[in-house]
Amino acid sequence: MTSKTLDNFLNGSILDLKQRGLFNEIDTVEGANGPVIRIQGKELINLSSNNYLGLATDERLKQAASEAIDSYGVGSGAVRTINGTSDLHIALEERIAAFKGTEAAISYQSGFNCNMAAISAVMDKNDAILSDSLNHASIIDGCRLSKAKIIRFEHSDMDDLRRKAEEARSTGNFNKIMVITDGVFSMDGDIAKLPEIVEIAEAYDLITYVDDAHGSGVTGKGAGTVKHFGLQDRIDFQMGTLSKAIGVVGGYVAGKSNLIDWLKVRSRPFLFSTAVSPADAIASTKAIELLMESTELNEKLWENGDYLKQGLKALGFTIGASETPITPCIIGDEKVAQQFSKRLVEEGIYAKSIVFPTVPRGTGRVRNMPTAAHTKEMLDKSIAVYEKVGKEMGLI
In the sheet that holds 364-368, the strands lie side by side as 327-332, 364-368, 353-354
Q: Give the total of residues touching ligand PMP (CB under 6 A).
A: 14
- For ligand PMP, which is the closer residue by CB, 251 or 269? 251
Of the pair 136, 390, the CB lying nearest ligand PMP is at 136
Contact with ligand PMP (CB under 6 A): which of 51, 238, 243, 285?
243
- Is 214 in the active site? yes
**How many Å apart are CA 183 and CA 197, to the nearest integer?**
11
CA Rg, the chain, in Å?
22
Closer by beta carbon to ligand PMP, 140 or else 315: 140
Q: How far is the CB of 24 from ligand PMP (least distance, A)?
A: 14
Q: What whole-number distance in Å separates Cα of residue 184 and Cα of residue 301?
A: 15
Q: Any contact of residue 186 with ligand PMP (CB under 6 A)?
A: yes
Between 76 and 243, whose beta carbon lies closer to ligand PMP? 243
In degrees and rounded to multiples of 5, residue 166 shows phi and psi of: -60, -45
Sign of CA dihedral 11, 13, 16, 21: negative
Name the residue among 291, 364, 368 with its Cα closest to residue 35: 368
State CA 255 to chain mean position distance. 19
Q: Are 52 and 244 in contact (CB under 8 A)?
A: yes
322 in contact with ligand PMP (CB under 6 A): no
Give yes or no for residue 110 binding ligand PMP (CB under 6 A): yes
Alpha-carbon distance of 28 to 116, in angstroms, equals: 28
Work out whether 156 is an interface residue with ligand PMP (CB under 6 A).
no
Name the CA dihedral angle for 158, 128, 262, 203, rounded to a multiple of 10 degrees.
40
Angle made by CA atoms 247, 251, 257, in degrees to the nearest 5? 130
In the three-class reduction of DSSP (H, G, I as helix; E, B as strand; rest coil), residue 313 is classed as helix
**CA–CA separation, 173 and 154 (whole Å):** 22
Q: Are 232 and 262 in contact (CB under 8 A)?
A: no
Residue 213 interacts with ligand PMP (CB under 6 A)?
yes
In the set 136, 164, 214, 352, the catalytic residue is: 214
- Of the chain, the end-to-end C-alpha distance in Å amounts to 54
**Part of the chain binding ligand PMP (CB under 6 A), chosen from 87-95, 104-112, 153-161, 374-382:** 104-112
267 classed as catalytic: no
Of residues 186, 216, 284, 353, which has the active-site annotation? 186
For ligand PMP, the closer CB: 180 or 383: 180
SS3 42: strand
Q: Count Cβ atoms below 10 Å from residue 363 Cβ, excluding itself.
A: 20
**Which one, 80 or 136, has the nearer CB to ligand PMP?**
136
From 88-96, 171-179, 211-219, 362-370, span contacting ligand PMP (CB under 6 A): 211-219
Say whether 120 is catalytic.
no
User: Cβ of residue 389: shortest distance to ligand PMP, in angstroms?
Assistant: 26
Q: Segment contacting ligand PMP (CB under 6 A): 82-90, 94-102, 106-114, 281-289? A: 106-114
Spot the catalytic one: 136, 244, 309, 374: 244
Interatomic CA distance for residues 319 and 179, integer angstroms: 28
Candidate residues 49, 181, 241, 363; the one interacting with ligand PMP per rule CB under 6 A: 241
Stretch touching ligand PMP by CB under 6 A, among 65-73, 108-116, 278-286, 287-295: 108-116
Provide, rounded to whole angstroms, the least separation between the CB of residue 140 and ligand PMP. 10
- CB 310 to ligand PMP: min, Å: 25
| Catalytic residue set | 186, 214, 244
Interface with ligand PMP by CB under 6 A: which residues?
A: 110-112, 115, 136, 138, 182, 186, 211, 213-214, 241, 243, 251
